[in-house]
Chains A and B, each alone.
Chain A
Amino acid sequence: MTVLDEQTRIVAVCAVGALIPGRGVAALLPDGRQVAIFRTVDDEFYALSNIDPFSRAAVLSRGITGDSDGIPFVASPMLKQRFDLRTGVCLDDESVVIRTYPVEVADGVVHLRP
């Protein structure tokens, strides 16, 4: 498949109900990449790479979400660094940025654009 196909394709991931508000889940993309999808208590959805760049373990989906000065974040469960859910910027070390993915919810199903 071509890169263009990859970018235009939308992947259906799971039912909205599989996500607890304030928590995340991990999804496996067909090419092996892992995405952490979060649902906030205000029912906003975000998706980031699941890999914690500091420990390199695929664990970000298991972190606690929250906000700092209004910025929604997830704190890595490994060593607690926080990442802006909207941009992937690490709030504790701004030189580190992780990849984000567009998410959409349609008909009660969470979709990703890889």
Chain B
Amino acid sequence: MTRTLVVVGHGMVGHRLVEALRAEDTGHAWRVVVLAEEPRAAYDRVALTSYVDGWDAGALALPGADYAGDELVELRLGDPVVEIDREARNVVTAAGFTQHYDALVLATGSRPFVPPVPGHDLPGCFVYRTIEDLDAIRETVERVKSAKRGRAAAMVVGGGLLGLEAAKALRDMGLSPHVVEMAPRLMPLQVDEGGGSLLRRLVTELDLTVHTGTSATVIEEDRGRLCAKLTNGTELDLDLIVFSAGVRPRDELAREAGLEVGERGGILVDSSCRTSDSGVYAIGECAAVEGRCYGLVAPGYTMAEVVAAQLLGREAAFPGADLSTKLKLMGVDVASFGDAHAATEGALEVVLADAVSGYYKKLVVSAEEPRTLLGGVLVGDASAYTMLRPLVGSPLPADPAAMLAPEGAGAVGVEALPDEAQICSCNNVTKGAVTGAILSQGCDSVAAIKGCTRAGTTCGSCVPMLSKLLDACGVEQSRAVCEHFAFSRRELFEIVKATRITSFAELIAKHGTGSGCALCKPAVASILATLDTTMGEGGHVLNDEQAALQDTNDHFLANMQRNGTYSVVPRVPGGEITPAKLRVIAEVADEFGLYTKITGAQRIDLFGATVDQLPLIWKRLVDAGLESGHAYGKALRTVKSCVGSTWCRYGVQDSVGMAVELELRYRGLRSPHKLKAGVSGCARECAEARSKDFGVIATEKGWNLYVGGNGGTFPRHAELLVSDVDSESLVRYIDRFLMFYVRTADRLQRTAPWLEELEGGLDHLREVIVDDKLGICEELDAAMAKHVENYADEWRGVLEDPEKLARFTSFVNAPGTPDPTISFRVEREQKVPVLLGVPEVVSR
């Protein structure tokens, strides 16, 4: 007979319980009723901060959390349970709905703790736990921003993991956050003193103001703003306050129903997650398992599985939990695992700290030989985490100091891990389970392992490890460009360079199969273009066979738009342009009736040109001294600049001059993906240089060079490669950086993912291009010199060559006739495309 399970609370853990039970309850022993307080189905609370990125609640949805199509699950949202009648085995909701149960699971989570400071409930004070909390914060931020000029300020009460996340979210919304932490350091639970002080320095550089060892004594309203007074005498003028000072388990329902609670709160349960009433379980953050509450999702998931097993008649017990954490806060790595505070008797600490490079690493090991790894703290560089965490409890395979050294982690292979080592702590998956999936279930990719074992599906921090295990099991993870070449772009580059093959036809005949496709042709065209000019032969991207390989944008040296017309973007180096050139652009736009727009990268885009018009337009532009801006190519786009020391009262170097120099130097360089750069005249960073592939920021003494930044889909801040260098060294390092990237990156891999994947990361890059560890700098320098020497404007090249020019017609049999399907209408005084076109689809 089907019995009724009632689950109170639909958070991540409640959802996992339902999922685990429904996956295994093939005999339909249970019907499940979930009663939830929040107005939406369970979502990924761990990723809550990412909500700020796009304000898209859908992106946080957990797959399957609406149980669509499952008739045995009923989900009632937005109606909290207010009473449990244990005798009658009923629960009652706020709306008065009564539900009988045969078994009851409480998964009510916790609530943010708000310290009882006077004024804590004034308007403008928030907590940080639900989507609704963030929506409310956003509303206030927007109101404050629209009402005032200058930067709005916020205070986050609590400098723990969640407090720093909240501060990051506020910074991303454009506020200046103050973080106030009562303990003497940030993240007191996870990191030690050394790690805490480095963390403080790193986040301060990122625009947070940190106040430790103090707390707020009172919050007052002050002419429409808030004023917070701290115990150390500081007074902060604020627009908004977020409390993130820990959580308290939501055990109120259980208390009222007479269930036992833990000494420090939480619904008391035994190791099988049963409360003092054997028909009632508690799981997740609300549960105090043998008196102890867990504020992480992984232990909650384990509890959910323990209860699901028992409901299906199996015995199960909660084995305790791994409280390791790894996170990246505003680009700063922090990890803490095992016995991070060396609480074990006799434990020894090995510390490696480098304040200049900005890392702090500590291992805690046993006193006796062989040394057992007990725990550790990593700040600034947590790359060793994936390797170290699974080793906790096992003897160290190498000297502790060697394991912490920048390459040490790489030197100790995954082979060193025992089978029982936990690879994915979120989902409790061991190395043995992963290798089993690879070897006996035929998983041959990270995606397949995710599907088979769940490893890597929650926080994602174990994914690099999964990929290493695939390697260790001898599984080739294909990097091949496409079905025609069994090589990666990097390998193709090496082949072309070594064999000096100069045509696609020869390359595919000797090293590939078939006739090629839209993936390999443009990739090879880019390689040939780079090598052509750097070998000194001075080619043109539309010469001979190369023309046939180019993507349509490169084929017509313009960007195709949605109606088949093209856009025209002349180069405006550094964003600096004379009124005379502006006038020419305006005249051309007028004459050819082009829609005109300022782009996001400091130049002007003219839209709506037909193929036949392109050479006529470019003739005018080239005659006026303008040249191709390569907006169509996988090549350098722009070097964005700010006005710098010439005009700006804060500027310390001539950022425009440098941007122009760099743009002229690298224009036309063909690369695996587009390249963007920026130069700012001081640390205020008005040119947003750190969101670029390479960014330069002026200092009193010279320039700081940052590399590997990205806007776009996966934004990433560029990282500091060298600081305070003079102009000549700056250019030299950028030369090498670009050439090294061009040679070794994959097809359509921008510098950010390239750098992330580069073995040894930023340190390795620095060794290669600053210390010349591989001995290739001379070659890279020479290649760039050749590029600079051989640069020629592509559009001029077309205008001077009748054969190339002849291809710019809409119809081969009617040159001069424009495509009749193209038409325009007027919007805001300019023309925009009318999407007509006759669909010629024949359906089968």
Contact = CB atoms under 8 A, between A and B. Distances in A.
Partners in one complex: yes
Interface in A40-78: 40-42, 49, 51, 53, 55-59, 62-70, 72-73, 75, 77-78
Contacts of B814: 27-28
Nearest to A19: B812
A58 B548 contact: no
B844 A97 contact: yes
B560 A62 contact: yes
A59 B515 CA distance: 22
Interface string B502-524: 00010000000011111011100
A70 B842 contact: no
B835 A62 contact: no
B817 A28 contact: yes
A27 B842 contact: no
Interface in B550-602: 550-553, 555-556, 560, 562-564
Q: Which range contains the number of A residues in contact with the other chain?
A: 35 or more
A28 B174 CA distance: 54
Contact of B811 (A27, A78, A99): A27
A34 B844 CA distance: 22
B87 to A, nearest CB: 61
Counting chain A CB atoms within 10 Å of each CB, the highest count among B563, B806, B835, B842 belongs to: B842
A70 B547 contact: no
A105 interface: no
A19 B547 CA distance: 12
Classify the interface of chain B: helix, strand, loop or mixed.
loop
A55 B521 CA distance: 23
Interface in B478-535: 483-484, 505, 514-518, 520-522
A67 B514 contact: yes
B811 A66 contact: no
Nearest to A13: B813
A63 B552 contact: yes
Contacts of A28: 810-811, 813-814, 817, 820
Nearest to A57: B564
A69 B514 CA distance: 8
B839 interface: yes
Contact of B812 (A13, A58, A94): A13
Contacts of A22: 515-516, 521, 545, 548-549
Interface in B811-844: 811-814, 817, 819-822, 835-844
Contacts, number: 134
B812 A41 contact: no
B483 A68 contact: yes
Interface string B459-487: 00000000000000000000000011000
Contact of A56 (B515, B551, B839, B842): B839
B837 A58 contact: yes
Nearest to A88: B842
A80 interface: yes
B837 A56 contact: yes
A80 to B, nearest CB: 6
Contact of B518 (A49, A58, A66, A70): A66
A10 interface: no
Contacts of B518: 63-64, 66, 75, 80, 82
Given A27-B811, A40-B515, A57-B564, A20 B548 contact: yes
Q: Which range contains the number of B residues in contact with the other chain?
A: 35 or more
A51 B548 contact: no
Contacts of B806: 18
A64 B482 CA distance: 15
A14 B812 contact: yes
B821 A58 contact: yes
Nearest to B505: A41
B560 A27 contact: no
Contacts of A20: 547-548
Given A20-B547, A78-B560, A64 B839 contact: no
Contacts of A2: none
Contacts of A58: 564, 819, 821-822, 837
Nearest to A42: B515
A26 interface: yes
A99 B842 contact: yes
A55 B564 CA distance: 9
Nearest to B553: A77
A95 B843 contact: yes
A62 B842 contact: no
A11 B814 CA distance: 13
A41 B619 CA distance: 32
Nearest to B508: A41
A23 B547 contact: yes
Contact of B516 (A14, A25, A67, A82): A67
Contacts of B841: 53, 96-98
Nearest to A69: B483
A69 B545 CA distance: 23
B816 to A, nearest CB: 11
A32 interface: yes
A26 B812 contact: yes
A108 to B, nearest CB: 14
A67 B515 contact: yes
Interface in B41-94: none
B821 A34 contact: yes
Interface string B323-348: 00000000000000000000000000
Contacts of A64: 517-518, 521-522, 549-552
Interface of B: 483-484, 505, 514-518, 520-522, 545, 547-553, 555-556, 560, 562-564, 806, 810-814, 817, 819-822, 835-844
21 contacts: A14-B813, A20-B548, A22-B516, A28-B810, A28-B811, A41-B515, A51-B821, A57-B562, A57-B821, A58-B822, A62-B552, A63-B552, A64-B518, A65-B515, A66-B520, A67-B515, A94-B844, A96-B841, A97-B842, A97-B844, A98-B842
Given A28-B814, A75-B517, A95-B843, 17 more contacts: A13-B813, A22-B515, A22-B516, A22-B545, A25-B811, A26-B811, A41-B515, A42-B515, A51-B838, A53-B839, A64-B517, A65-B515, A66-B518, A67-B514, A73-B517, A77-B560, A99-B842
Interface of A: 11, 13-14, 18-23, 25-28, 32, 34, 37, 40-42, 49, 51, 53, 55-59, 62-70, 72-73, 75, 77-78, 80, 82, 88, 94-99
